[in-house]
Amino acid sequence: MRVLITGITGMIGKHVTNLLLENDCEVAGISRATSASRYVRQKPAYKHYLGDILDVNFLARVWKEWKPQLVYHLAGQAYNGESWDAEDTTYELNITGSRNVLNACKRYCPNARVIPACSSAEYGFVPDEMLPIKEDMTPLRPVTPYGVSKACLEMMSRQYHLNYGMDVVIPRLFIHVGPDHPPVTALQNFAMQLASIKLGQKDPVVKVGNLDSSRDFVDVRDGAKALWLLANKGKSCEVYNLCTGKAWGMRESLNMLIEISGLDVEIEHDKNLLRPSDEKVLLGDPSKLQSLGWKAEIPFRQTLEDILNNWLERLA
């Protein structure tokens, strides 16, 4: 199978690529020259196109040359918190850029399966009585620019299926965590600070924002397996929560990371780390995805250990 991945050098893209190559797929990927692709030292095992999803001529060249049978659309502004400071970029990449990708699929590979990375941020504030979130029963009420952009991507994807017959499967990704991720999410930021303290690079103080929220975290290695399963077994135009069914409090997660690090640290609240609004709980129901044969396998503590060790390697 010939697969094309937008955002191939991102955290999810890298793990999906490795899994596809293990399954004898031919893989090509797109990343911007300004992205992590700059740091690739060895020739990758996939065909690598450097360019931007806002450049329709670039996309036309890639699609005509590669002729994909499966497209994972993972490119865009990928961080919920960052979207408050990069609202224009978030909408431009996640809406206009995504529309360009869908148009390229429509024009050059109309029979390919397309899997866009949608998000749990689309749900917004969910009342306790509607938890855990069921994808076919819970309305989308996003409260962040990122969540709004992802809801738009989902609606566009559905439109392309209904109007043009495109084969689109829609995963709503809950927060994916794992090694090799920038410190723009709370867990990565905590781990980076703890690694820096352990290496003697900063004082034993961890700065935090809101610790009263809870999130359904997915290890990216489990998430990659789910995305491959959806390529093979997902039903066209169906939505699937990609989640574990377990929510971890931010305070609980931070305490676990501190325990793993073996450090004695002070916690300092930093108002600069607070968002204009923050969903109290995002907890999904994975039953629909599990019915296809998937389940989360990597324990949360193992994920945290791997994240911390990864930051120790990166900062050493």
Residue 29 lies in a domain: yes
Assign residue 108 the CATH number of its domain: 3.40.50.720
- Do 109 and 224 fall into the same domain? yes
Q: What is the pLDDT of residue 41?
A: 58
Q: What is the pLDDT of residue 272?
A: 85
Dist. CA 170–CA 268, nearest whole Å: 39
Residue 289 lies in a domain: no
- Do 183 and 172 fall into the same domain? no
Residue 292 lies in a domain: no
Q: Which residues of the chain have pLDDT under 70?
A: 34-41
Residue 119 lies in a domain: yes
Dist. CA 254–CA 49, nearest whole Å: 38
State pLDDT tens for residues 214-256: 999 999 999 999 999 999 999 999 999 999 999 999 999 999 9
Q: What is the pLDDT of residue 142?
A: 95
- Do 150 and 276 fall into the same domain? no
- Do 234 and 258 fall into the same domain? no
Residue 95 lies in a domain: yes
Q: What is the pLDDT of residue 96?
A: 98
Residue 153 lies in a domain: yes
DSSP 174-190: --EE-SS--TTSHHHHH
- Do 121 and 196 fall into the same domain? no
Residue 11 lies in a domain: yes
Residue 37 lies in a domain: yes
- Do 138 and 238 fall into the same domain? yes
Identify the DSSP state of 129: G
- Do 99 and 135 fall into the same domain? yes
Q: What is the pLDDT of residue 36?
A: 53
Number of domain units in the chain = 2
- Do 117 and 199 fall into the same domain? no
Domain holding 279, by residue range, is 178-215+246-283+298-315
Residues 6+ apart with CB under 8 A from 309: 179
pTM: 0.95
C-alpha 121: how far from chain center: 11
- Do 55 and 33 fall into the same domain? yes
Alpha-helical runs (H) found in the chain: 11-22, 56-66, 87-91, 98-108, 145-164, 186-198, 220-233, 250-261, 287-290, 300-315
Q: What is the pLDDT of residue 307?
A: 97
- Do 32 and 129 fall into the same domain? yes
- Do 107 and 197 fall into the same domain? no
Assign residue 275 the CATH number of its domain: 3.90.25.10
- Do 20 and 86 fall into the same domain? yes
